[in-house]
Amino acid sequence: MVAAYQLHHRVKLRSWRTAVGGGLALLALAGLLIALGEGWPAVAAGLVGGVVGGFAVPVMMLRWRVPAVARRIFQQQKQLNEETNLAWNADGLRVRTPNLDGRTPWAHFRRWREDGRVVLLYHSDALFQFIPKGVLSPEQLADLRACAAAGDVPGA
């Protein structure tokens, strides 16, 4: 589950919106320092600090904050502690636990993302189902990808 949240947040931290926001924040900082009459050494120091912080903060979030949040969610959401069975075909993905039996058509998924550890199937920008790749054989993973791609899931 930690890997799923790290992938989810890594993509968000690398987005163009994050880059533009960081650039605007640095420009605002430079403008503030110039307006205060601090001089170019202070502006340069502020910009260097902003750039370093802009790279360090996301790395620290992915390494420490995101795993802590993922562990807390895992403890809170009892369904995640139950055995889960997955099945899929050309129509969609079926998830079964002792307390849940649901099918989601491929057309309801907005996006597919994956890295070396997990597959994320997004219902929305904030809600996703994760599938650890370690529980799938290479053939199952290829079939899951093929079914999602045939169902027009973007990114599959």
Reduced to 3 states (helix: H, G, I; strand: E, B; else coil), residue 73 is helix
Distance CA 140, CA 79 (A): 24
CB atoms within 10 A of CB 46: 17
If one compares 36 and 126, the residue with the highest pLDDT of the two is 126
* pLDDT score for 15: 62
Percentage, residues of the chain above pLDDT 90: 40
Structural element, H or E, at residue 113: strand 111-114
The pLDDT assigned to 12 comes to 63
Find the angle CA(62)-CA(153)-CA(87) to the nearest 5 degrees: 90
**How confident is the model at residue 27, as a pLDDT?**
73
pLDDT band at 14 (very low <50, low <70, confident <90, very high): low
- The pLDDT score that the predictor gives to residue 9 is 63
Query: Which CATH number describes the domain made up of 83-150?
Result: 3.10.50
Quick one: pLDDT at residue 147? 96
User: Residue 1: is its pLDDT beyond 60?
Assistant: no
pLDDT digits (tens, 9 = 90+) for 29-77: 777 777 777 777 777 777 777 777 777 777 777 777 778 887 888 888 8
Coil/strand/helix, residue 106: helix
Domain boundaries, the chain: 2-76, 83-150
pTM: 0.66
